[in-house]
Homo-oligomer: A and B are copies of this chain.
Amino acid sequence: MSIADRLLELDLILPTPPKPVAAYVPCVQSGQLIFVSGQLPFAGKELLAKGVVPSRIPLDQAQCAAQQCVLNGLAVVNDHLQGDLGKISRVVRIGVFVQSDSTFHDQALVANGASELLEKIFGTAGKHARAAVGVNALPLDAAVEIEFLFEIQQASA
């Protein structure tokens, strides 16, 4: 099944790729690696979740925000690959930053929102390495920021 079909089956629609909030680009490819800039949980022009987890944003909403970061990251890569997400051979790594109360230690559960969605979409190729940490502040007061590293198939000779 193609990734496009898989997204349909999961009832997922890729958003318009968010514009960087500043002077950088959404992603850069080097060889077979595509580095995607840190994505915030934008849904349209609004952030799905603003504030620290969990005192302002409960865990389940933070997980939804992490999923939205994934959709935005995929939208960026989809654009870069001119609509062919099937070129992705592996989700290599994600870096997850959760705006956290200092007493919150379930960043892994927040990040699972992203990790499980990637596996649902890409299957085995969606299994990735990950670093998930808490931070005291994120751009625009986002609850979550996630950056992505994808591998694409080697160009045939």
Contact = CB atoms under 8 A, between A and B. Distances in A.
B139 A132 contact: yes
Interface residues of A, number: 60
B135 A90 contact: no
B128 A25 contact: yes
B21 A108 contact: yes
B38 A130 contact: yes
Nearest to A140: B105
Interface string A86-115: 000011111101101111111111011001
Contacts of A21: 108
Contact of A102 (B27, B30, B33, B136): B136
Contact of A135 (B30, B33, B127, B135): B135
Interface string A33-51: 1011110000000000000
Nearest to A36: B129
17 contacts: A21-B108, A22-B130, A23-B116, A24-B115, A27-B129, A28-B90, A28-B93, A28-B128, A30-B32, A30-B92, A30-B151, A36-B129, A37-B129, A131-B145, A133-B135, A134-B136, A135-B137
